[in-house]
Amino acid sequence: MKDYINANFNDIFNGNFVLYEGNPIVKHFGVNIVLADPSVLTPDKTHDGLWHMFCHSLLGIYHFESKDGIDWTRKGRVTPRAMRPDISVVDGKYYLYYEGTESILKKAISLVGGKWLSKIYLITSTDLEHWSKPTLIIDSTKPYMTDKQGTSISNPFLTKFEDKYRLYFSAGLTYIKDCGFSEPTHIAYAESNRLDGGFVPINTPIISPDKNNEYLNLCSGCIKVYRLNDCYIALQNGIYQKGNKSHSSIMLLRSDDGINFEFSRVFLDPCVTSGKYKNWMKQYVYACNLVDYDGGFRLYFNARNCADNLRGREHIGVMIANKNICSTGNALH
């Protein structure tokens, strides 16, 4: 599984993470003005020794392949009406959890005043080419999953805690006025003793919006949780208001139990980036995936240049903490 990072907290906290000079490494394509939520498998975890990435566009989840984790080739669409994928491999079998949405017609209706409806599903594969039929994993069973905008269960992220599997997820919807669309309100988790079902969501979210938190004063975004040698960490992209605009930054959190998290520092803030980075990640950095490979760390993430629905574009980039891979750039701390 990909949730364990062979490092101590200070290795991440003090890591010299640098924005790769060639960002964005994967750009939106065709009618897809959004390419988002990367989930990455490193070569040591794949059957063919290649890098594999799954991310979503407006038309569903797409699969990308790479020899070095930088130059990516699009392999094709995995499934339509799907968002925010999370890929894991356990005992040679691939598990792809994702947020499944309604049909394009119903989704269009939801954007003009109807109710949103999404749940978490699972598909599996042994070769990353042929996939099983979807299985419903988390349904809308808790009050925090539904609000006046509809029902949303999103951003799955699988981890292993002792003898149980834990699936972190986002829930609920908060309308972001300057964007014209909604973002996830809360963060919670569900546990099961098997991978293909039986996940029971907790009764109360572990993270909710906080008006007193400058990086979390609108809504919670998503979270990715990793076990280190000495603690757990989470990378969370909170959505917040700053001046008259909304923004999203990636925060580093620390925990002793994977449930109660404390803010450590801002990991990536679009408001402090400069030069050419502002052209594609000017206002938001969103969901990310931290990987540990070949003596270094990489943080894959997606970013958006502006809130405007017509001008806004989302691409995928990477930060690297390994001087042998990227020796130039702006270190962010």
Query: Do strands 164-176 and 181-192 pair parallel, antiparallel, or not at all (unpaired)?
Result: antiparallel
164, 167, 282, 306, 325 from 249: Cα distances, Å: 30, 22, 11, 14, 25
Q: What is the pLDDT along the chain (333 residues), one digit of tens a residue?
A: 667 898 999 999 999 999 999 999 999 998 889 999 999 999 999 999 999 999 999 999 999 999 999 999 999 999 999 999 999 999 999 999 999 987 554 555 545 556 789 999 999 999 999 999 999 999 999 999 999 889 999 999 999 988 899 999 999 999 999 998 899 999 999 999 999 999 999 999 999 999 999 999 999 999 999 999 999 999 999 999 998 999 999 999 999 999 999 999 999 988 776 566 568 998 999 999 999 998 899 999 999 999 988 889 999 999 999 744 433 333 332
* The two three-digit tokens of residue 6, written as one number: 């062979």
Q: What is the pLDDT of residue 103?
A: 58
Q: What DSSP assignment string belongs to 32-71?
A: B-B-EEEEEE-GGGSTTS-EEEEEEETTEEEEEEESSSSS
Q: What is the pLDDT of residue 330?
A: 37
Q: What is the pLDDT of residue 326?
A: 37
Q: What is the pLDDT of residue 27?
A: 94
Q: What is the C-alpha separation between 49 and 165, in angstroms, rounded?
A: 26
pTM above 0.75, yes or no: yes
Q: What is the pLDDT of residue 97?
A: 98
Domains along the chain? 9-321 (2.115.10.20)
- Which residue type occupies 208? S
Q: Select from 184, 191, 253 the least CA-distant residue to 222.
A: 184
Q: Which residues of 36-64 are buried (b: 16+ CB within 10 A; e: fewer)?
A: bbbbbbbbebbeeebbbbbbbbbebbbbb
Phi, psi for residue 103 in degrees, rounded to 5: -60, 165
3-state helix/strand/coil string of 179-193: CCEEEEEEEEEEEEC
Q: What is the pLDDT of residue 329?
A: 36
Q: What is the C-alpha separation between 230 and 306, in angstroms, rounded?
A: 38
Q: What is the pLDDT of residue 325?
A: 40
* The two three-digit tokens of residue 300, written as one number: 């894959």
* The two three-digit tokens of residue 281, written as one number: 């990640």
Q: What is the pLDDT of residue 278?
A: 64
Q: What DSSP assignment string belongs to 267-292?
A: EE-GGG--GGGHHHHSSEEEEEEEEE
